[in-house]
Chains A and B, each alone.
Chain A
């Protein structure tokens, strides 16, 4: 049972500590992914963002603290059950296998049908592909797709896994650098689609390198630095030059997007370090 607050729906960590090979990757992290919201996790490289996502996905056990969904800790929940309310879009799926794209998406329905696909599963898979704007790839051999196309197939698979079933059960979508291989238009399509899911009581967590994408879509931003929570809040609160300098060691300015009103983060001047002195030394 949650100790610090009464039961609220969400995918949460409490004082999370993760150690790997003796090294502390995350320490004392408190986080909540609420259904109906997009939560972004940002931070410099090595801050522990991916590890945090994996802990929330149940892949990594905490060495200290707790992680759970709703009233239960993850370790109490059977793997198969977790799969019905939580989908993950991994950063890198370099595996190559001769399946049709539709078959790959259909695998997303596995937690719900124990192996025998029903007509409704096919229907959902098709709709997930339409949602991801990849219906035209249905019959294509996955191994022949480009990196971006594969990413979108995986996205459709994750969608199919937590496709809204009308019961308003809170479900969660975890995205690890989801737009890495995508060009601008597709990146927007994917994030737009993910963000829209929140209207179906789905909580979305995204790990981002691209701060502007986070700023554009997140309701709540969490900044990690060296394994600890540095700051959190709305994009406007978090993306401030002094905080960005402290967290990233980066000189940035923020302006306001003319249409969305959301912060846009830009580099102040560029790195004007002592390059010349090194060359001519």
Chain B
């Protein structure tokens, strides 16, 4: 990172980044605190403070038991879940947009989301039909859905990648087309399974496909966290290579980048993070599309800003959307996929209108 101080007069762009990132981080922290204090159950800010300070052992106060439970076991894991999902979707989207050199690239394009959906649908529907799978499900327990999502997402992504790769060279245009084909195929498989499903399974599948964070608890958070954290680290380390990739694949090659290896690494890592996330929370759209665009609008395509910025802004967006989902129709909850779509779609249109003549990747 072009950290301030080290470079000195290294260009305005270098100095601007830490300011924006720090600002985003601060806003995120504030939003987390606000989100902790808000929800269907009314908990006063003082109580929130009491519960949190007790949790980290700072005080021996005795806050109300149910409030303590709501804060520590319902809201806190949910907020962390939102952070994990939001950051992984946004960063994956940013990287895929650079690899595809297409501003419309979204994790859904490489087949991850629909592949994950197939994995989850198979587990939900066939799990009871095939005794083997059921035993596996019992064995893996709570891990079975995220892992099914990850495996399905990875399988679909690898299929798309293989279809588009010849002689070690991966053609991006073919990858887009292969993605469309694989998505269609997965859609058909899901349709088939919807047909075979009984009503309970069908409803489970439908609810899941709307995207919801209501499955958040400490177990699901700690199940998802390793996938996301590893993914974010790997992608962060590719930031500079992605900068260079923007010059063009040939130019990146001239500058010493193993382009095919880079593309493979990005696509698989994105599949890893997003597949596990989709498996846990269902399909949540627009975050991967809108967040990186917004950041590039303000500070250009420098990935060492866009990637951490996407993580922060994506997390921010999800925590905010979750806040709305939990409080707007309280005590009922709106599926979060609906909120992100409602927020994301008009925003996307605004972005399009603003940038019709501006730079493109």
Smallest CB separation, A155 vs chain B (Å): 13
Contact of B239 among A108, A115, A161 (CB under 8 A): A115
Tell me which residues across on chain A come within 8 A of B243, comparing CB atoms.
Answer: 99, 107
List 20 A–B pairs whose Cβ atoms lie within 8 Å, in order of A's numbering.
Answer: A79-B253, A79-B256, A82-B256, A83-B255, A88-B251, A88-B254, A90-B254, A95-B101, A96-B359, A97-B300, A99-B13, A99-B243, A99-B300, A102-B11, A111-B255, A115-B240, A117-B10, A138-B11, A141-B300, A143-B359
Q: Quick check: B251 and A98 within 8 Å, CB to CB? A: no
Known: A107-B255, A110-B256, A161-B254. 6 other contacts (CB 8 A): A82-B256, A88-B254, A99-B246, A119-B8, A141-B300, A161-B255
Considering only residues 42-89 of chain A, those with a C-beta below 8 Å from chain B are 57-59, 79-84, 86-88
Q: Quick check: B10 and A122 within 8 Å, CB to CB? A: yes
Q: Quick check: B254 and A57 within 8 Å, CB to CB? A: yes
CA separation between A90 and B6, bound complex, in Å? 32
Q: Does A100 contact B (CB under 8 A)?
A: yes
Q: Does B302 contact A (CB under 8 A)?
A: yes
Tell me which residues across on chain B come within 8 A of A95, comparing CB atoms.
Answer: 101, 246-248
Q: Does B360 contact A (CB under 8 A)?
A: yes
SS class of chain B's interface: helix, strand, loop or mixed? loop
Q: Does A18 contact B (CB under 8 A)?
A: no
Q: Quick check: B254 and A117 within 8 Å, CB to CB? A: no
Q: Quick check: A119 and B7 within 8 Å, CB to CB? A: yes
Query: Known: A107-B244, A111-B256. Is A139-B359 also a contact (CB below 8 A)?
Result: no
SS class of chain A's interface: helix, strand, loop or mixed? mixed
Query: Known: A95-B246, A98-B359. Is A86-B254 also a contact (CB below 8 A)?
Result: yes
Q: Does B361 contact A (CB under 8 A)?
A: yes
Q: Which of A84, A90, A110, A138 has the most CB of B within 10 A?
A: A110
Q: Quick check: A84 and B256 within 8 Å, CB to CB? A: yes
Contact surface of B with A, Cβ cutoff 8 Å: 1-2, 6-8, 10-13, 101, 239-241, 243-244, 246-248, 250-251, 253-258, 296, 300-302, 359-361
Q: What per-residue 1/0 map shows which CB atoms of A106-133 lie under 8 Å from chain B?
A: 0110110011110100100000000000
CA separation between A139 and B13, bound complex, in Å? 9
Contact of A110 among B11, B240, B248, B258 (CB under 8 A): B240
Smallest CB separation, A153 vs chain B (Å): 11
CA separation between A103 and B240, bound complex, in Å? 11
Tell me which residues across on chain A come within 8 A of B248, comparing CB atoms.
Answer: 90, 93, 95
Q: Quick check: A98 and B301 within 8 Å, CB to CB? A: yes
Tell me which residues across on chain B come within 8 A of A108, comparing CB atoms.
Answer: 255
Tell me which residues across on chain B come within 8 A of A90, comparing CB atoms.
Answer: 248, 250-251, 254
Q: Quick check: B13 and A103 within 8 Å, CB to CB? A: yes
Q: What per-residue 1/0 map shows which CB atoms of A202-235 lie under 8 Å from chain B?
A: 0000000000000000000000000000000000
CA separation between A135 and B246, bound complex, in Å? 23
CA separation between A217 and B317, bound complex, in Å? 58
Q: Quick check: A103 and B360 within 8 Å, CB to CB? A: no
